[in-house]
Amino acid sequence: MTKYADIVVPVPLWKLFTYGIPEETGLKLCQAESIAYEINIQIGSRVLVPFGKSNKLTTGIVWSIHNNKPEDYETKPIAQTLDNDPILFPQQLDLWKWISEYYFCPIGDVYRAALPAGLRLESESCFYLNPDFEPENQLSQNETIILDYISNKTSASILEINKIIGLKSAHRFVKQLLEINAIFVEEKVTQKYKTKKEKVLYLGTDFRSEEALSKVFDKLQKAPKQLELLMTFIQKSGSLKDALNGKRISRNKLFSKKDNLVGSQLDLLIKKNILQQETRIIDRLDFSDIATIPISTLSDEQTNALNEIKLGFEEKKPVLLHGVTSSGKTEIYITLIEEALNKNFQVLYILPEIALTTQITRRLKLRFGNKLGVYHSKYSDNERVEIWNDLLKNKNYRVIVGVRSAIFLPFSNLGLIIIDEEHENSFKQYDPSPRYHARDVALVLGKYFNANVLLGSATPSIESYYNTKIGKYILVELNSRYKGICLPEILLVDIKDAKKRKIMVSHFSPPLLELITKALEKKEQIILFQNRRGFAPYLECKGCGWVPKCKHCDVSLTYHKNINNLICHYCGYSVDVYFVCKACEMPALNAMGFGTQKIEEEIQKIFPETKVARLDLDTTRSKNSYDKILSDFEHGKVDILIGTQMVSKGLDFDRVSLVGILNADSLLNYPDFRAYEKSFQMLTQVSGRAGRKYSQGKVVIQTSNPKHQIFNYVYENNYTNFFKEQIEERQKHKYPPFHRLVFIVLKHKNFNTVIEASKILTNLLRSIFGNRIIGPFEPHINRISDYYLQQIILKLEKTASHQNAKIQLHNSINRLLSDEKFRYVFVSVDVDPY
């Protein structure tokens, strides 16, 4: 062995592992789809390597090839290559490296986040019978069962053996059998990605003439069912000529799968060779042609903005498009995409949430037809693999719309990146690691491709707007709505006062109810916003004040009325609703607070004739549920839409004239330095859903603190003053964009252990970073899934070396964990937390 390859493996480790490249070219290639290729090992391609104590085969990515034998360990050889060509280009590998370094996360974590699971083959241990085995002693009953099972099946996995024995773990017996050489073990690689196949039918070769066919018809007079089937087949072929030419028709098209009787008749036709059957591989993705419409002509204001954007691109700087809601930003994006496509570039369009992709996808599909691909987690892993492969081969897709994970796709010629709603914090992945911010990563990706990057928002993040102030980005503004429609009129309602005067009806103030009534009379639509899902956040005992809490977390359980359950929104723990208080045993549990579900129920009571729908996490679990709810609303099948923050984001409905924000206080009181920024953004964005197309809309904001300065900024739509106030606060208190924040969270099942560990780590860090270290303290929620939490904050000057800080932090954590007492303390690091 003279050559070595450094390989990334999908485990949370920082290191690359060096493997030997076997000299003989006889290296086997995975026989997936039973095609064998010539092999060569290339950077960015997949290989199977033995990993860990068990030497299980896992899929690694070739990172580099060299001649340096590692000094401190014996290398193992690469077992197989999986690809003929790389599945990752240098830009993607660079991006992985950047993410790992910037976000202090193991490269293996980036790998796991980046690649669809279907591209990651893993081996499983398979057990085989030793044919020469002669038992010396009596075997136990379980051992005999296992041996019998394996000999019948030729090989078996541990999972299969567990099932047969009816035990959770048959390991003990398998181990004994291995020891006495009754069985042996080999690693078998399983493919997770499965091609989609279908059975197709065609006219048998002996019957491909009108003459032969008419003879068949005569014969089949005695079997009318088969005759009917054959006729249907010819009809589905389009014409007799097509059928005679051997056109393939999907078996499923001929009759429904459940119809067993017809199935058996069909099998008779196949037996007689009148019809023949074969299996073929089909695409999961739909590439059928779609009628497209030309892109809109831009207004003068939009054209000016477009030209300014292009000037910015010429300066090789990212451009921030700050355009009020409904100013026509999306139409500008569409024009830019078209221009990039004309130059043969690929385009990436990222959005913060899947909920948003539906509408945008529809708008873009109309323009770009089947050049448009969509990529997010509601797609099956198999579908994601096919999108990946399509891009890799540069086949169909030219524009990709997706949420954050789309930044990992194997682009090769990216010319334009659009980051829509750039202020949204759902661009940040919190758990699991890598804890990356897709906007910031997309900016880096843009650099690697020398691509144009456009960020768009009606309420830019403080960070991005600040970047335009210091000349890092170019600012382009659109100050009025398309067609000059006025921004909505905002009405602040003091609910503290209304409650005092006892004029609230459930959670609705009289002005809001009055406006809802008027809008309904005019057949206009309404959106009601409540930033909490569920029926009520919690139950409370009227007698003693007891609140049901999660067994595993320090949070109260959320009451879900429709399924009569109490659910923990942190760990998913759920129990049936209690009828009596667990503390005082009185049947006095009351629903407290209110979520979207409660609002839905209450509004239906007040307006029984009205059609009401709800958009939140609970109603949108399945792939198409967003589509369904949004399209019902769009088509006027629903009058009032109630939602969480999901309704606030970039949705475009023509006939919404009224937006009600039921309780703005919960936004402002959130314990976070971004609370005011988020409130301003949320309120402005939700308001922006009103009166988009035909006339000025109205917004009702209910609050107990109407004098709060934030409402004034929202009311005046005064971003400039809002920014000025916020940026001063940020500077004063050493927050981003002036300082970089790093959160360090420690977790352990034992409270005392985590307290002690966090003190030690704090001291270690303070000796390096001084008063840049804050803590340790208990985070807002101090126990999740039975783990106690402690937090430390590092506030680092933007000018300080990030690389240095990373090394110091890493060393300190390793020092803590090297103490046996703290070995099982989890320490997670979050750079730029949100």
Residues that bind ligand ADP (CB under 6 A): 296-299, 302, 323, 325-331, 482, 652, 692-693
Our CB check for Zn ion shows the closer of 584 and 807 to be 584
The answer to whether 228 touches 69, Cβ cutoff 8 Å, is no
Using CB under 5 A, which of 385, 581, 630, 825 touches Zn ion? 581
The C-alpha atoms of residue 94 and residue 110 are separated, in whole angstroms, by: 12
Interacting partner of 739 out of ligand ADP, Zn ion, none (Cβ under 5 to 8 A depending on kind): none
How many residues of this chain interact with Zn ion, rule: CB under 5 A? Answer: 14
789 sits near Zn ion (criterion: CB under 5 A): no
Whether residue 204 contacts residue 212, with contact meaning beta carbons closer than 8 Å, is answered with no
Q: Which residues ranging from 105 to 144 are in contact with Zn ion (CB under 5 A)?
A: none
Alpha helices in 699-801 (DSSP H): 709-716, 719-732, 751-769
Q: Answer yes or no whether residue 542 interacts with Zn ion by CB under 5 A.
A: no
Judged by CB under 5 A, does residue 738 bind Zn ion?
no
Which one, of 275, 162, 290, lies nearest residue 220 by Cα?
275
Structural contact between residues 114 and 46, judged by C-beta atoms closer than 8 angstroms:
no
Output the CA torsion sign for 422, 428, 434, 435: positive
Min. distance of Cβ 589 from Zn ion in angstroms?
8
Whole-number minimum distance, CB 475 to ligand ADP, in Å?
16
The Cα 378–Cα 358 span in angstroms is: 12
How far from 820 is each of 320, 753, 757, 824, CA to CA, in Å? 50, 12, 11, 8
Q: Closest CB to ligand ADP among 569 and 693? A: 693
Q: Which is nearer to Zn ion, 505 or 544 (CB)?
A: 544
User: ω into residue 106 within 30 of 0, thus cis?
Assistant: no
Binding-residue pattern over the window 549 to 568 for Zn ion, x denoting contact by CB under 5 A: -x-xx--------------x
Closest to Zn ion by CB, 552 or 693: 552
- The region of 62-70, 213-221, 292-300, 576-584 touching Zn ion under the rule CB under 5 A is 576-584
How far is residue 833 from each of residues 218, 672, 736, 788, 830, measured CA to CA in Å? Answer: 77, 11, 10, 20, 6
Burial (CB count <10 Å: 0-12, 13-18, 19+), residue 289: exposed
Rounded CA-CA distance 384/364 in Å is 20
Q: Which residues pair with 575 in a beta bridge?
A: 566
In the stretch 583-612, what mask flags binding to Zn ion with x, by CB under 5 A? xx----------------------------
To Zn ion, the closest distance from the beta carbon of 784 in angstroms equals 7
- 550 contact choice in ligand ADP, Zn ion, none (CB below 5 to 8 Å, kind-dependent): Zn ion
Which is closer to Zn ion, CB of 115 or CB of 581? 581
Sheet strand arrangement including 249-250: 249-250, 196-203, 275-282
**Secondary structure (3-state) at 434:** coil
Q: How far is the CB of 442 from ligand ADP (least distance, A)?
A: 18
Residue 655 vs 740, nearer CB to ligand ADP: 655
Binds 568, which of ligand ADP, Zn ion, none (CB < 5 to 8 A, cut-off by type)? Zn ion
Residue 787 in contact with Zn ion, rule: CB under 5 A? no
Residue 482 binding: pick among Zn ion, ligand ADP, none (C-beta 5-8 Å cut-off by kind): ligand ADP
Classified as helix, coil or strand, 154 is: coil
Q: From the CB of 346, what's the least distance to ligand ADP, in Å? A: 22
Give least dist CB 755 to Zn ion, A.
21
Q: Closer CB to Zn ion, residue 544 or residue 800?
A: 544
Q: Which of 543, 577, 631, 766 touches Zn ion by CB under 5 A?
A: 543
Shorter beta-carbon distance to ligand ADP: residue 294 or 608: 294
Q: Of 573, 649, 161, 586, which is closest to residue 420 (Cα–Cα)?
A: 649
Report the nearest approach of ligand ADP to the CB of residue 513 (Å).
29
Partner from ligand ADP, Zn ion, none binding residue 97, C-beta < 5-8 Å depending on class: none
